[in-house]
Structure 1
Amino acid sequence: MLGKIVVSLVSLLLVVGVIFGVILVFSESEHDEKEHQDASATMKYVAAICEPTTYTAACFRSIEPTAKNSSATAKDYIDAVVQATLVEMKKSLEFTEKTVVNKDSDNYSYLALEDCKQLLDKAIDTLQESLQVVDANMDTIEDKAHELLSWMTATHSLQMICLDQIEKPELKSALDNGLVNSTQLAHNAVHIFAELSQILKLFNVQQQNVKPSSRRLLQAAINQRDGFPTWFRVADRKLLSRGGQQARPNAVVAKDGSGQFKTIGQAVAAYPKNHQGRYTIYVKAGVYDEQVIIDKKNIYIYGDGIGRTIVTGKKNYGKNNVPTMHTATFAAHGDGFIARAMTFRNEAGPEGHQAVAFRSQASDTALFDCSFEGFQDTLYYQANRQFYRGCWIYGTVDFIFGMGDAVIQESTIVVRKPLAKQFNTVTADGRTIGGKKASNGLVLQNCVITPDKFLFNERFKFPTYLGRPWKKDALTVVMQSELGDFIRPEGYMIWQGESNHKTCEMYEFGNRGPGARIDGRSKDFSRFRVLKPQEAAIYTPGPFLAGQTWIPGTGIPHKLGL
């Protein structure tokens, strides 16, 4: 290991030396002391920015043009990191768009490729928004550090999801090669933004004192009236209270024709161009058999309650042979999505295998008093920050899974009866960048994990685990929750054919119930441990999702800490 570190450092210094030489060539005089000092300072900046990255050479290439400017600022370097990633992401999208798959002969690959285009387009939008945030908030950029890190992580995750859905070896290899530059730079960007505060210190960038406003926001979350922050607008409080019936929504959906629209899709399509503020859709009681994609920002959708307003579908991988992402009954792509008092369902049954009821890749997603009903892959927290409160989640295999940053709080998780010889795994996290370098993972806080009535009498016949690691750096935290007696003593299941159990992070804290005993937890999970209170606090919505900056504004009841 020591030898590898030495080689890495030597390689880093050699590449920095090359950059240093380039900088000197661009100087008007090699012997001018000030220019040598400028070049030395630039060398220090380049080394500090690229040292934490995995793909160091790619990092140096991405900021080389900026390094040639001896007067470049911290903002210039941060812009360069994002801009280089954006350029390569656009190239990746162009490559994907030029890749042709015959829909008639290979419908699965055709759909997976279409999904890739959407995922890369979302990544591009995220990077463009990141540039705007950096440009507009440089004097308070540390206050946006978590959001930017989450976005960088999402751009990498979206690419991984694209590649993960491709099954055909030759197509997978082609896309892997076509996306290699953008995946490397996105990976680097995660590491760089994780060290943002250190980079600012290196450049002696003084930040405005934004912490008091953050504290005021946190205090507003605590001092609530009628379940909402005291600073929340009266109109919005009325809109969100008791399902929103007291306020007039922008659009009303009703199966019986008593609304403006008969389908949710029609209401979403009617979103006015250049609409400002939140767009509210009220969906009256009824069963809406449609596949819905929310592709606009700041949509708030509410119904008449769980089991009354139901969005349903039955697309699935097992019988329809469509990609997992494509099976979702309801999907949120537009940032700032909020839902309340609704049921999202996939009726494919256990025979459908992967069959998603709800999927979100929207940043700052929040759902309250909703149910998610399916079997395998029910709730897909695909990417970005997500908060779920007071929900009911039903499933069998990997039924809460994804690559986003998700906290599920004060919810009931209901395990169903799987197929014969199947097992149940409540969670399957897919974090691809581990440690402190990424923001994503899954947290279950103050939840209840229980069998449904059809499983209860046979609950010991079908092995049930808290989760299994979908990817090698998976992070799953189960804390302050009630765990039923049917949870296997091992707690976690190995992902067959992979060694993810050796590197993933599976943590518990303050759980209760017969399934909460940790003395039998699997020793194969070498990094499993019970957290101390100060460690567990890191995974609460406040720190883990930077929740104080956005959750209060959703109007959803919440707890930011332990």
Structure 2
Amino acid sequence: TAAVVGEGFLARDITFENTAGHAKHQAVALRVGSDLSAFYRCDILAYQDTLYVHSNRQFFINCLVAGTVDFIFGNAAAVLQDCDIHARLPGPGQKNMITAQGRKDPNQNTGIVIQKSRIGATSDLLLQTAGNMSYPTYLGRPWKEYSRTVIMQSEISDVVHSAGWHVWDADFALATLYYAEFGNSGPGANTTARVDWEGYKVIGNESEVVGFTAEERAFRQKTRRRLIIVGISSILLVGIIIGAVAGVVIRNRKSGGSGSDADKLPPTESPAASLKAVCSVTQYPSSCYSSITALEGGSNSSDPEVLFRLSLRAAMAELSKLKDFPAAIQLPSDIANDTMLRQAINVCAAVFEDSVDRLNDSIASITAQPAGEGKQQQVLSRTWLSAAVTDLDTCLDAVQLRAILEQLNSAMENSTELASNSLAIVTKVLGLLSDFNIPIHRRRRLMTAEAESDSGFPRWVSDGDRRMLQQVGGAGGLRPNVTVAQDGSGNFTTIAKAVELIPKKSLWKYIIYIKQGTYKENVILDKHRWNVLVYGDGKDKTIVSGSLNFVDGTPTFDTATFAVQGKNFMARDMKFINTAGPEKHQAVAFRSGADMSVYYRCSFDAYQDTLYPHSNRQFYRDCDITGTIDFIFGNAAVVFQGCKIQPRQPMSNQFNTITAQGKKDPNQNTGISIQKCDFTPLSANLTARTYLGRPWKDFSTTVIMQSSIGGFLNQLGWLPWVSGVEPPNTIFYAEYQNTGPGSSVAGRVKWAGYKPALTKDEAARFTVGSFIQGGAWLPATSVAFDSAL
């Protein structure tokens, strides 16, 4: 009756029916060969061969499928979730077969999965059977040699025969098929009398069926457009997007055979239902709904973009109140003069202000979004909101005292939830618009892939900036705006004095040349210092040195010898060191929260917490990073290429962990990607146990790929944050195509969140072009980079 083949097809509230009847045998109601297709609240009605899931990836949710013989058949990767699967009264001499899956090749990634559904019968069949098996119904039979069907977490009525499954012809395919049941309930779910075929199994372990869920299996295939539909809320959003954005009017599905004209009117999704669906993708749906409805216009809009803007306004209102809180904290008299605590509270004040700026950036970008840049602005908003969430978390990391932490947690609760809500909406709602190629307000979606630079740099580095990085080099390079020289031959003898001259929010590159020498000072370029390039005479010649540390009373955030916040910062041929030593614990050499920042031929030298890529997008090329514990840590979206990662000998009771990534919210687009780098000890005396990293936060994300790893690495590869406690399965730690004696994954940890061997497509997500959108900004820096694998 209806057949769809084109990619990305969506249907909602439609009845597809073939009325030929059982006497006419095969008569399909709906045939689907559309990849990444989704069906929501649809009825698919016929007798034999009702639903033909022919090929590609398909998802059905809240649908009704009714039929008799082989009424769900084909060779797609199809998931039916929260559906009603009803056998109906067949013709004389017929048996009901719910499925007939057609996988012919063992390497095909296809199959039928019925999850969290209800398997029963229509009223006509129930009346005829009345408890006997005159018209037996089976879960399926193998149409082809490698037929694959999984029924899981579903309610099965007693209409299903106790044997469960039926042969196609004698013993055909019984040893090569894969039929399985997991976690089902109801009178027909008892598996004690099921078939005893070699290919049939009852699964008892949840981990064995994860691969058959919508996210993990049916939608796992090589594709540049990564679409994951994992549940009811996502499909609700598809419906809202169709109705509210695209303006598509879809006929309502028929209700229970009433035949009334009212039942056939097009559906309209109320603003309240739209908002609930949008908020359902967040971690805090209640606060999402209440905060948006409290705003003007929040109760009468179904437009996802409008709702996103309102969520930003709600978050901004809370953050604006929060930024004044640190100054109002009342400390008990016994700690009122605690200098380190006061400094930690000052860190909170600074990051709260930064988080407000991040939200302002998001609001401004989405408001001023020109035609054709919807995808780009969605990525930018996600980047800035990720940074805002990181800023809030940084405050809690800085404050150690429990009594003050309780005050802060209470004060920050609303801000944290609402910022997270906005991040979830831009990730899952506006991201879904892009995935389905649905324009907002007639805006054209960018259809071409992000261009890659011939030099390998991300495109967000302009041609001019790239030339600067290539040409700058002492007297023979570009003319700097200001020169720093200890011998008095420049404009200033200290870097701090030069920084004072940097214009605020400059749209033009401001260049500082720092001549050879060791500058013992702590330097801060605040968020207002944009487009700054600092360069020296070489990473072993121009050195900035500090020694602030945690043990002596400075919060980790403030220990940085050199710290930058303003966007488009670049550094070349410089060395940044913290000389505090291992006994002083956290002592940062360099901290960056600068978006679209680039570091070329630089050296970062310390012990614990050497390099702190705090937030936003960052790129490091041909750099040296040296340290002991967590010596690359933070929650930026950061890529290292062609760098030397050099663990050194720590104190006698310490181990080395190269990374400690801090992703706290699942919707943040952050993580550490180390590609084509060289992992070697700083010196031959390294004997301490050394690991690639440990997960600092619940969604910690780190990928090591195409790198050379020396034999110094402990075979486990990774270390838990808390000794003896396996990290949550929400982390993402992975390795891809590494070489060297330490690259073998045979002895690696067995955590659920660790992937010892990514596919090429999975690894591609963490390249410069994909992970930090480098093709849009890096070419301008003139720093060589590899945009892809």
What TM-score results when the alignment is normalised by the length of structure 1? 0.87
How far has the Cα of 1:379 moved from its partner?
A: 0.3
3-state SS in 2 of match to 1:548 = coil
3-state SS in 2 of match to 1:500 = coil
Question: How far apart, CA to CA, are the structure 2 residues paired with 1:522 and 1:69?
Answer: 49
Question: How far apart, CA to CA, are the structure 2 residues paired with 1:38 and 1:277?
Answer: 53
How far has the Cα of 1:499 moved from its partner?
A: 4.5
1:228–1:557 contact (8 Å) kept in structure 2? no
3-state SS in 2 of match to 1:137 = coil
Question: How far apart, CA to CA, are the structure 2 residues paired with 1:466 and 1:274?
Answer: 38
Higher helix share: 1
**1:270 corresponds to 2:504:** no
Cα–Cα, structure 1 residues 223 and 519, in superposed 2: closer, same or farther, change >3 Å? closer
1:396–1:425 contact (8 Å) kept in structure 2? yes
> Partner residue of 1:419?
651
> Partner residue of 1:358?
590
| Structure 2 counterparts to residues 108-507 of structure 1, below 5 A | 108-137=340-369, 139=371, 140-195=373-428, 196-198=430-432, 205-212=441-448, 215=450, 218-219=451-452, 221-222=453-454, 237-238=467-468, 240-243=470-473, 245-273=476-504, 275-295=506-526, 296-318=529-551, 320-434=552-666, 437-453=667-683, 456-457=684-685, 459=686, 461-496=687-722, 499-500=726-727, 502-507=729-734
Question: How far apart, CA to CA, are the structure 1 residues paired with 2:466 and 2:712?
Answer: 43
3-state SS in 1 of match to 2:473 = helix
* Cα displacement string for residues 313-367 of structure 1 (whole angstroms, at most 9, x for unaligned residues): 001112x121111110000111111111100000001111100000011111111
* Cα displacement string for residues 501-531 of structure 1 (whole angstroms, at most 9, x for unaligned residues): 5432110000000000000001245533310
Question: How far apart, CA to CA, are the structure 1 residues paired with 2:455 and 2:661?
Answer: 34
C-alpha RMSD of matched pairs (Å): 2.9
How far has the Cα of 1:67 moved from its partner?
A: 5.0
Equivalent residue in structure 2 for 1:78, among 299, 308, 312: 308
1:112–1:162 contact (8 Å) kept in structure 2? yes
Aligned letter for 2:580?
A
**1:55 corresponds to 2:314:** no
3-state SS in 1 of match to 2:432 = helix
Aligned letter for 1:485?
G
**1:94 corresponds to 2:313:** no
* Cα displacement string for residues 453-489 of structure 1 (whole angstroms, at most 9, x for unaligned residues): 2xx24x3x31011111111211110000110101000
* Cα displacement string for residues 40-99 of structure 1 (whole angstroms, at most 9, x for unaligned residues): 341343133211101001111222135556467444322211111111111111122211
Question: How far apart, CA to CA, are the structure 1 residues paired with 2:302 and 2:730?
Answer: 39
1:74–1:205 contact (8 Å) kept in structure 2? no
Cα–Cα, structure 1 residues 182 and 37, in superposed 2: closer, same or farther, change >3 Å? farther
Cα–Cα, structure 1 residues 420 and 191, in superposed 2: closer, same or farther, change >3 Å? same
1:48–1:199 contact (8 Å) kept in structure 2? no
Question: How far apart, CA to CA, are the structure 2 residues paired with 1:79 and 1:428?
Answer: 33
Identify unmatched segments of 5+ residues in structure 1: 14-32
Question: How far apart, CA to CA, are the structure 1 residues paired with 2:504 and 2:662?
Answer: 36
Cα–Cα, structure 1 residues 60 and 541, in superposed 2: closer, same or farther, change >3 Å? same
How far has the Cα of 1:553 moved from its partner?
A: 2.2
How far has the Cα of 1:210 moved from its partner?
A: 3.3
Aligned letter for 1:469?
P
Aligned letter for 1:474?
S
Q: Which moved more, 1:520-529 or 1:85-94?
A: 520-529
> Partner residue of 1:533?
760
Cα–Cα, structure 1 residues 37 and 129, in superposed 2: closer, same or farther, change >3 Å? farther
1:300–1:337 contact (8 Å) kept in structure 2? yes
Cα–Cα, structure 1 residues 490 and 228, in superposed 2: closer, same or farther, change >3 Å? closer
> Partner residue of 1:23?
none
1:66–1:72 contact (8 Å) kept in structure 2? no
Question: How far apart, CA to CA, are the structure 2 residues paired with 1:393 and 1:203?
Answer: 44
Identity level (%): 34
Question: How far apart, CA to CA, are the structure 1 residues paired with 2:507 and 2:472?
Answer: 24
Aligned letter for 1:207?
R
1:329–1:357 contact (8 Å) kept in structure 2? yes
Cα–Cα, structure 1 residues 135 and 37, in superposed 2: closer, same or farther, change >3 Å? farther
**1:520 corresponds to 2:754:** no
Q: Higher relative contact order by CA 8 Å / sep ≥ 6: 1 or 2?
A: 1
Question: How far apart, CA to CA, are the structure 1 residues paired with 2:635 and 2:673?
Answer: 12
Question: How far apart, CA to CA, are the structure 2 residues paired with 1:354 and 1:154?
Answer: 22
Question: How far apart, CA to CA, are the structure 2 residues paired with 1:492 and 1:448?
Answer: 17
Cα–Cα, structure 1 residues 356 and 76, in superposed 2: closer, same or farther, change >3 Å? same
Question: How far apart, CA to CA, are the structure 2 residues paired with 1:235 and 1:117?
Answer: 33
Cα–Cα, structure 1 residues 223 and 442, in superposed 2: closer, same or farther, change >3 Å? closer
2:374–2:444 contact (8 Å) kept in structure 1? no
**1:548 corresponds to 2:548:** no
1:501–1:526 contact (8 Å) kept in structure 2? yes
How far has the Cα of 1:232 moved from its partner?
A: 5.5
Larger radius of gyration: 2
How far has the Cα of 1:104 moved from its partner?
A: 6.9
1:142–1:207 contact (8 Å) kept in structure 2? no
- Equivalent pairs counted in the alignment come to 524
Question: How far apart, CA to CA, are the structure 2 residues paired with 1:524 and 1:239?
Answer: 42
